[in-house]
Amino acid sequence: MRTCFSGPCNDPREVFYTRCSIDLPSHSVRIEDVPCRNLEDVLGGFGRSFQMLAERTVTHAFTPANPLIVNIGVLTGTNLMTGLRTYFSAYSPLKVSNRGLPAAMWATGSCKFGPKLRWTGLDEMVLEGRSNRPVLVVVQRGIGGPAVAFQPADHLLGLDCHGKIMRLHEQFPDAHFAVIGPAGENYESCYFAGVALSTENQLKSRNDKCRWAGRGGMGAIMGFKNVIGIVAQASDQVTRLKPEIRDINKEASGGPGSRKFREKEKGGLGGTWSNYVPLEEVSFVPQHNFRPTGDGRARLMFRETVEPEFVIKAESCFRCGISCHKNVYEKNPDGTRGRFLAKFDYEPVNLLSTNIGIDDPRKAAELISLVDQFGMDSISLGATIAYVLDYNDRHPSSRILNGATFGDFEKVKELVEGTGKGRFPEIGRGVKRLSEQLGEPGYAMHCKGLELPAYLPDTNPGYPWAIAGGHMSMATHLSLVLERDTSVGYWVKAITERGLYFVRDDLLGLCKFAALTAENAAQAVKHEIGLEITAQELLAAVRRAFIRALWLERKQGYERADYTLPSEVFDRPNTTLGIGPFVTREFFSELSDRVWSVFDPEIAAL
């Protein structure tokens, strides 16, 4: 990214980013400096990629017309702590309108691939068409700038994500990698395949510690394109740390915003895993396909319950002081750290244990590890498997697939492996399709085709307005437990005035866990690239990007009926919940009217 300010340093049109367009059928490459059209283009991430997607007509995810855009945010690869995000954007095979058209989607993950991509000299890659054979895209920083080459990738086929990365590491020792797993190779049967990103810790420890751009099937798109991996090879280009950035980093790593994710000895609360405790207080921890029973078994997965049996080590992404990774290891007889098992975060742990009736941390670790090996989104897979188990419970005489039911670890494991290998397309194509095929969509836990994270829909009527996953693109999933307000007016404000700004860091290239203030984020942009923006201008751009995403959903056939919750929320209220139930059809109808009365004019004005 470069600037050529002729006057005051505040015109985004005087900022240029470097885009590499790759025609996969011919392996031809065009690298160009592109002037930004607006602030969203400067900020990057989905703010830029969705503008490109808006210009395309795509009626099916698996067509050559669907580009895969791999880009970074303006702060990725800078000295700002957590500036580590890479974004993968495309029309999703998983998120589809009721009319059957694919929706624009992005997935993002941290760690060093994003910075390495920036250090090659590229801000964005656009993968067009489909390669005729499995290919590895190698981006290197050459003498005259970024250079792109292609290598056969047949030798990587069939390896799991970690195996692919370690093989590539031998070949490209100073590079980082984005790869798909077997699930991505079996994209036609596994729409929720994700993209694995290599980490420093992984390459050094040789443990399976990828980070993930998991949601929405971006790995499946990569698989369709026959791109098995992307290599970003450049020497580290760490520049002088400006005092202003140092101060922001200090605030991010030691301030209140990141306390939740830090360890207790670092003044924190121990990571997202600790969500179990306050959620269980009000029976909000999903059990039995998002239907808490109030039996208290969720406590078996509390960190405090699990910790004595294992060694839990807080580890971090490249140059991040928060150390949010809660990595679980075997405990040796002498109490020292043994074999690495899995990284525990609240969502995958819940969806691959408590929510499917498996209340055993060792089995949860095995499933999480297996899902990572195959390269699948643990949220989509976990929620879809929960639906299968629920269906089988409801139909004991006509069970589907292998007949698995809640708590049957061996059969669940078989479903996980089979899905990753492409043998269970019923699961791999997501819960929306499966439930519609079975004629029982009421308890399929998704909104707009994307499976719900581990927060109950009964407690979050804001889910339908999330644009790229329920807990990362609309921050209303914990509002009820935090404020206990069940009025329509509260929820309208929560969605239209607060929740949508959660996507701010999905433009900037930052991790949400740093919880930077908007003022600090704007300052960071100024100090890192020289563009002077205010916090208000930044937030205005974020809002435009969000509204544009809603516009894009309409372009792909989304209608008001698409914006709803699983019907069991209305039809079978769960009375075990500590607060509520409050989301009735009448409530939701009024909420919907009022939310659209805010968003509709803004969409029309785009």
Partner 1 sequence: MVRIRFTTLFAERIGGISAVEVSAGTVESALRALTDRHPELVPLIWKDEGTVNPVIVLFLNDRQLGPRQFGASVKPGDEIDIIPALEGGCGPPLSAAIAIAAPHPSGFGETQDVTSTRHWRP
Residue type, 286: P
Q: Which residue lies nearer to partner 1 by CB, 255 or 321?
A: 255
Token output for 363: 């089995």
The token pair that represents 2 in the structure block: 């470069």
518 contacts partner 1 (rule: CB under 8 A):
yes
Task: Record the tokens describing residue 463, joined without a space.
Answer: 């889910």
| Cis status of the peptide bond prior to 333, with omega within 30 of 0 | no
Q: Tell me the H-state helices in 206-256.
A: 218-224, 243-254
Please report, as residue ranges, which positions from 34 to 53 form the binding site for partner 1 (by CB under 8 A): 36-39, 41-42
- Least Cβ distance, residue 79 to partner 1 (angstroms): 20
Among residue numbers 452 through 511, which ones bind partner 1 (CB under 8 A)? 471, 475-479, 481-485, 497-502, 504-505
CB of 49 to partner 1, least distance (A): 17
Total residues belonging to the chain = 606
- Judged by DSSP in three states, 213 sits in strand
Q: Which of 32, 309, 519, 571 binds partner 1 (CB under 8 A)?
A: 519
User: Does the protein bind partner 1 through residue 525 (CB under 8 A)?
Assistant: no
Give the whole-angstrom CA distance, residue 301 versus residue 319: 30
- Pick 487 or 584: Cβ nearer partner 1: 487
Of the candidates 376, 339, 320, 280, the one whose C-alpha atom is nearest the C-alpha of residue 114 is 320
> Using CB under 8 A as the criterion, what x/- string covers residues 407-446 for binding partner 1?
----------------------------------------
Give yes or no for residue 521 binding partner 1 (CB under 8 A). yes
E runs forming strands in 402-500: 446-447, 450-451
User: Looking at 143-151, 278-286, 357-365, 372-380, which segment touches partner 1 (CB under 8 A)?
Assistant: 278-286
Looking at residue 310, its amino acid is F
Least CB distance to partner 1 at residue 437 (A) = 33
Closest CA to 328 of 350, 303, 293, 352: 303
Residue 578 binds partner 1, judged by CB under 8 A: no
Number of residues that bind partner 1 (CB under 8 A): 72
Give the one residue of 29, 31, 277, 400 binding partner 1; rule: CB under 8 A. 277
Q: Are 108 and 89 in contact (CB under 8 A)?
A: no
Neighbours of 100 (CB within 10 A): 10
Whole-number minimum distance, CB 606 to partner 1, in Å? 7
| Cα radius of gyration rounded to whole Å, the chain | 23
Please identify, using beta-carbon distances, which residue of 256 and 333 lies nearer to partner 1.
256
**74, 412, 515, 591: which one binds partner 1 (CB under 8 A):** 515
Residue 426, Cβ neighbours under 10 Å: how many? 19
Q: What is the C-alpha to C-alpha distance for residues 470 and 457, in angstroms, rounded to an integer?
A: 10
- Which of the residues 6 through 35 are near partner 1 (CB under 8 A)? 10-13
Footprint of partner 1 on residues 212-271 (CB under 8 A)? 255-257, 259-261, 264, 267, 269
User: What does the block give as tokens for 490?
Assistant: 């509260």
**Residue closer to partner 1, measured from CB, 391 or 551:** 551
Q: Please list every residue from 305 through 364 that binds partner 1, using CB under 8 A.
A: 346
Residue 208 vs 451, nearer CB to partner 1:
451
- Based on CB atoms, which residue is closest to partner 1, 152 or 601? 601
